[in-house]
Structure 1
Amino acid sequence: MTDILLIEDDERLGTLIANYLRKHGYLVVVETDGAQAVGTILEHAPTVVLLDLSLPGQDGFEICRAVRSRYGGVICMLTARIDDIDQVLGLELGADDYIGKPIEPRVLLARLRAHMRRDSAARQTGSILRFGQLCIERDTREVTLYERRIELTTAEFDLLALLADRAGQILSRDDLLRNLRGINFDGLDRSIDGRISRLRRKLGDLAEEPERIKTVRGRGYLFNRAAWE
């Protein structure tokens, strides 16, 4: 199984990144053509897709949109575009992380290792969480609500499982980021808010004041164990 699929049209940069990751023991495949990227992701089913945003043939947003429902691994967007709008769009389309260029290779390696550790740990945990009609199966990473399967990305599943593990507790953005990505909240990272929004939409928590994953103003988010009947 491929560890990392790097989709990058800059061949020199792609070679440098791939060689660095290979030196640290990872099996890396490089794809330079955006038009071929979706097929390559589905063929190799990597643990992590490191996806450049600006690609010939099909850009990173289009690739993420096209593949997200069929690929359950981690998608990290790698880009020199740092606009908030681009970051929010990428996360809304199902990306798990947004990594700005240029990035120090050791920092990139640490980010990828963190994603892979969380993915591995989640897959190895065999517990099942049940709240009324909601069932979260850690071993298969499946979520069902009213016996209907809910399709979640890796990041969405990890966030839901963390919230459910601590049902009834208020978790701040800092709590969530430290548990999910091993970093502290810097006041600018909107990835948690985007994931919460997507989870609410997928779990039918669409009221003006959501009841299943509640916002506690000024403090964070709370998983309501009583709201799943």
Structure 2
Amino acid sequence: MFSLTHKTAVITGGGSGIGQAIARLFAKQGAEVIILDLNETGASQTVTDILREGGKAVFYRCDVSDQSEVKKVLDLASKVDILVNSAGVSHVGKLENTSEADFDRIFRVNVKGVYNCMSVAVEKMKKQGGGVILNLASVASSVGIPDRFAYSMSKGAVLTMTLSVARDYIDQKIRCNCISPGRVHTPFVDDFLKKNYAGQEKEMFEKLAKTQPIGRMGTPEEMATLALYLCSDEAGFVTGADYSIDGGFVSLK
């Protein structure tokens, strides 16, 4: 079950965190993985790890906010069976302390980047006779979270783009879903705590972990497992869905 043999999976943001975990798991399940990222060090390490384990993977440096770059890179792929939009950036701030530059940066990567990759991939999938798209939204797309104005805006857009693409291309056998993680322990969290709470990292980590009713943060590997199901043939009846994977954050608060 959940085999991705003979499938080509394009994963943006595969150089770290959730994207990296998805890339490794998909390769383990037989997919030929194509990583798009600006993080050359992290993405190269992901590819090295996959190759060491006997998998197939390549990395292309690509700015997903630039549609011409995305098209140039994806034109190198003979096919795209799976697209996972994991690349994203965050921002801490409410409306009044979110600058126009901050807003534009978040929109450019988190919204336009997803649009660009889906736009190119859908054209290839239509010619192939189908495919699967998985977007990473967030619990911030469904509930109000303090000091996440621009980030929540972007993830709300990801959710609704997912629904639109699922509806518009269902007749072309293209499935499109998204997952909405709660807090996940990634290098971003560690860097955030180090930058904003120097000397108090442990205490703040525990505080953030306990905001999930389950009592801890999720792991990138747990996110990857759900991603694998949704991108596999076993999920062939699933489209236009948003899956919360948040330790009960949304439903049990």
- Normalising by structure 1, we get a TM-score of 0.42
After TM superposition, the score normalised by the length of structure 2 is 0.38
Asked which structure has the greater RCO (Cα within 8 Å, sep 6+), the reply is 2
